[in-house]
Chain A
Amino acid sequence: MMKRIRIENLTKYYGDNLVLDAIDLEVEEHEVVCLIGASGSGKSTLLRCVNKLVPYDHGRILLDDISIDDERFNTTELYKRVGIVFQAYNLFPHMNVLDNITLAPRRVHRTSRAESEARALELLDMFGMNGYAHSYPERLSGGQQQRVAIIRALATNPEVLMLDEVTAALDPELIGGVLKIIKDLKTQGMTMMIVTHEMGFARDVADRVCFLEGGRILEEGLPQKILAHPENPRTRQFLQRIIEAGRL
């Protein structure tokens, strides 16, 4: 299989604080990798480095064997191929759903309005959001907003989708709809890097689970193995606490 993303020796400091400590990680095409670990372990920062939302200090990140810092990747091209969805949705509150979704296709990638809107409506329909194209974000539930945010990230047909704790801000009964979309995307063969605290979901959707702590990947492997029979004592301790909190 093809290596979509190759992260080598990725190191990042926030000031003097080491947040990513020589991370090596490869993601194959159509693979779903879940990153788990406590807050502050570097999971979100790792995602943000991959699409250059934050700069990194050492190492390199390759997308299809080309460094993301290569001239061939102007940023527009990178953001088109790697989409990200945030915990807080970050929809533009002054734009309706359709405008949120078509903004990047129209303004960044110069797709015609008709074509962008047709694609947006198709995606809304596909993810159970038809009828909301002209609603404003504040009129939607958190779960609906997050679904729109995922659709917005998909509107440019990215090859890789990164999801940063996309269900963490949602009420329990709203999580299901969002998780279902992600499962559908997996079925369609989307390559994904997912930061999540939903261990049950990670078990269902991940091809591989990585446990991060202190900016390192302490343990990685099949979800059944990592979540059920972790070898590293720190992984075991983390999962124990998750179980105590009733989330596995």
Chain B
Amino acid sequence: MSSSPETRVPAPPARRTLSFRERYVPFLISFASVAVVFGLLARLVTSAQQWPRIKLQFFNADAIRASFPLVFRGFLTNMSVWVIALFAIAGWALMLAIFRSLSGPLLAPLKVFAILYIDLLRGIPSLLLVLLFGFGVPALQIPGLPRTGLFWGGVAMVLGYSAYAAEVYRSGMEAVHDGQRAAAKALGLSQWQTLRFAIVPQAVRNVLPALLNLAVALQKDVALLSVIGVRDAVREAQIYTARTFNYSSLIAAAMLFLAATIPMARFTDYVARKDQERRFQRTV
């Protein structure tokens, strides 16, 4: 202990520097092989006899340009429904999951309601729900309630997706260690306080990546509203197709959806990776 640390501690190993070849050659090779393979593929496709017709029908720049303003306006409808539905689902599904986790005879009705709800709504195809709510409820002409397909189609999406999200929340709540419940109980927290302060905050953090996955799925499924006449991106594209017999407007809609879903999927991956790292650090 008498000698100074400088003499005792060996220097950290020098950082290995990569030579130009080591650093760039593998990258160049993979770039070249990707270019060759996809280049050949593109050549094959474009040299096919049908290609000019396909290009005219699906990838017609003029048609895409012409249909774009309407398709884009429809797409904004899709995305607004998506964002509003996300918040509604996050809240309603959490409530369902909490209902389902309750114990005690007085709270049994809530628990049974949650179980039935989840079973029913998860078992019905989203398309069917959208048709039922989007056409069915406005037809009842109940005073005081909105009658637009947009509203009721959105409600259908929220109700259906909440059943899935509730199960995701529930798995997160069950994954919280029993010791946490014991600690909360020993501190005198009520069942409600235990959920509120100990279980739910940890559960939400646990299932965030899984919930984001559902959000990506919903991002595309909002296009189902087109079947009840909501003028979303798909509907607008179809209208253009019906008028001009050109399918490029559908391609325009597809590209808009991709522009939204791919970043969202990447973001989900990023959150999932962060979550993994956090768990890893905690266990090590």
Complex Cα spacing A84 to B201, Å: 23
Residues 76 to 90 of chain A near chain B (Cβ within 8 Å): 76, 78-80, 83-84, 86, 88, 90
* Chain A residues with CB below 8 A from B198, complex form: 92
Known: A88-B179, A92-B180, A93-B282. Is A53-B201 also a contact (CB below 8 A)? no
Instruction: Return the CB mask of B187-210 against A: 1 if under 8 Å, else 0.
Output: 111100100011001100100000
* Chain A residues with CB below 8 A from B202, complex form: 92-94
Complex Cα spacing A93 to B189, Å: 17
Known: A88-B179, A92-B197. Is A76-B282 also a contact (CB below 8 A)? no
Query: B interface, by DSSP: helix, strand, loop or mixed?
Result: helix
Instruction: Return the CB mask of A46-86 against B: 1 if under 8 Å, else 0.
Output: 00000101000000000000000000000110111001101
Task: Evaluate contact between B188 and A104: CB separation under 8 angstroms.
Answer: yes
Task: Decide yes or no whether A107 CB sits under 8 A from chain B.
Answer: yes
How many pairs of A and B residues are in contact by the CB < 8 Å rule?
57
Q: How far is the CB of A13 from chain B (nearest CB, A)?
A: 20
* Chain A residues with CB below 8 A from B177, complex form: 90
The bracket for how many chain A residues form the interface is: 20 to 34
* Chain B residues with CB below 8 A from A86, complex form: 179, 182-183, 186
Residue of A nearest to B185 (CB): A53
Complex Cα spacing A87 to B214, Å: 38
Name B residues whose Cβ lies closer than 8 Å to a Cβ of A: 177, 179-180, 182-183, 185-190, 193, 197-198, 201-202, 205, 281-282
Name A residues whose Cβ lies closer than 8 Å to a Cβ of B: 51, 53, 75-76, 78-80, 83-84, 86, 88, 90-95, 103-104, 107-109, 138, 152-153, 156
Q: Beyond A86-B183, A90-B183, A104-B188: 5 further Cβ-contacts under 8 Å?
A: A53-B182, A86-B179, A90-B182, A103-B187, A108-B190
